[in-house]
Amino acid sequence: MRAFVVSKYKGPLQEADVPEPVVGERDVLVQVQAAGLNVLDEKIRSGAFKSFLRYELPQVMGNDVAGTVVGVGANVAGFAVGDHVYARPDKDRIGTFAERIAVIEDDLALKPATVTFEEAASLPLVALTAWQALVEKGNVRPGQRVLIHAGAGGVGTVAIQLAKHLGATVATTVSAGNVDFVRELGADTVIDYRNQDFAQLLDGYDLVLDSLGGTNLEKSLRVLRPGGKAIGIAGPPDPAFAAEAGMNPVLRLAIAALSRKIRRQAKKLGVTYEFLFMRASGDQLRQITALVDSGLLRPVVGHVFDFDQTVEAVQSLGKGGIRGKAVITRA
């Protein structure tokens, strides 16, 4: 089976012939029609997350899939051959840059009927990230104010729409060329990050969703109201994440050290910081499907690459400039 693999951290992505997926009793075998590209793919390849997300190399890459069911395990009840599905496979079972992948039934959902395979493949990881940040961790309610950084990116385009659906007033940061674009998605206040300082213009926000980390995250704490919350998806990871991930005590201490500075800054300001590393969830994808099919959430695909261009597609992740998501297609 054709696939694209990483054989060593920081090494190049390469095409390889790999064995067919092993289909367990609760697995669904999916013929890949399209696969979304994510910053996470590059972080995995570079080894940036290997302290808590280590793979046995060589590893087939890819974290988003949309495709057709071509086989089911003996105990699968919710899917049948021929179904059109999409998923973000569990973090321990990635590998969507391939002709086929076996996905556990719990992580899978029927794809939205109103969108293409390419549009569906753009959604799982970023839509689940937005859902878990805004609904689960943020508990966003009508009338609240939410700041979403990088509003024209993969997570940002979905998070703006979801926050508006939840009744929030939304601010976002983008380059000047994307101001009108994010307003169309629903943003109420748009900050041109190249020429404006969001920390000087915004104040009293309930929640910040930060995808950049570093200085941007530190400044984000200052726009929150007392009791507000900053959720970071670029790191640093925090002790709660380490505990949820079941890390050993030594690794937990190391993870705690990574976020100690930002947590101290947050405490001093009377706000909180939480790290989010999204998890796979078929149940949440079904709720996202309903939003898509009702017209409340639209996927944004900025570029489509052919399967043969997968190496080039992954290299493009570092260049930026794509609205929404880039996608690989096997159509």
For the chain, 331 residues long, give each residue's pLDDT as a single digit of tens. Answer: 999 999 999 999 999 999 999 999 999 999 999 999 999 999 899 988 887 788 999 999 999 999 999 999 999 999 999 999 999 999 999 999 999 999 999 999 999 999 999 999 999 999 999 999 999 999 999 999 999 999 999 999 999 999 999 999 999 999 999 999 999 999 999 999 999 999 999 999 999 999 999 999 999 999 999 999 999 999 799 888 888 878 888 888 888 888 999 999 999 999 999 999 999 999 999 999 999 999 999 999 999 999 999 999 998 887 878 899 999 999 6
Q: According to the model, what pLDDT value does residue 52 have? A: 75
Residues 6+ apart with CB under 8 A from 119: 112, 299, 301, 327
Amino acid type, 54:
R
pTM over 0.85: yes
Q: According to the model, what pLDDT value does residue 247 have? A: 83
Residue limits of CATH 3.90.180.10 in the chain = 2-123+299-329
Longest dimension (CA), the chain: 58
Residue 72 near residue 81 (C-beta atoms within 8 A): yes
Residue 66 near residue 285 (C-beta atoms within 8 A): no
CATH of 125-275, one of 3.40.50.720, 3.40.50.1100, 3.40.250.10, 2.40.50.1070: 3.40.50.720
Strands 2-6 and 13-17: antiparallel
Q: According to the model, what pLDDT value does residue 249 have? A: 86
Q: What kind of fold does domain 2-123+299-329 have according to CATH?
A: Quinone Oxidoreductase; Chain A, domain 1 (3.90.180)
What distances in angstroms separate CA 302 from CA 64, 133, 154, 197, one per listed residue?
A: 16, 23, 9, 27
Instruction: Identify the helix (H) or strand (E) that includes residue 173.
Output: strand 169-174
- The token duo for 9 is 């951290």
Residue limits of CATH 3.40.50.720 in the chain = 125-275
Residue 70 near residue 30 (C-beta atoms within 8 A): yes
Instruction: Give the whole-angstrom CA distance, residue 27 versus residue 323.
Output: 33
DSSP secondary structure letter of residue 301: E
- The token duo for 31 is 């013929």
- The token duo for 228 is 């507000």
Q: According to the model, what pLDDT value does residue 281 have? A: 98
Strands 27-36 and 325-329: antiparallel
Instruction: Give the whole-angstrom CA distance, residue 121 versus residue 86.
Output: 7
Instruction: Give the whole-angstrom CA distance, residue 254 versus residue 261.
Output: 13
Q: According to the model, what pLDDT value does residue 109 have? A: 98
Q: According to the model, what pLDDT value does residue 121 have? A: 98
Strands 169-174 and 224-232: unpaired
Among residues 42, 16, 298, the alpha carbon closest in space to that of 185 is found at: 298
Q: What end-to-end distance do the CA atoms of the chain give, in Å? A: 17
Q: According to the model, what pLDDT value does residue 49 have? A: 81
CA angle 156, 261, 243 (to 5 degrees): 75
Q: According to the model, what pLDDT value does residue 252 have? A: 86
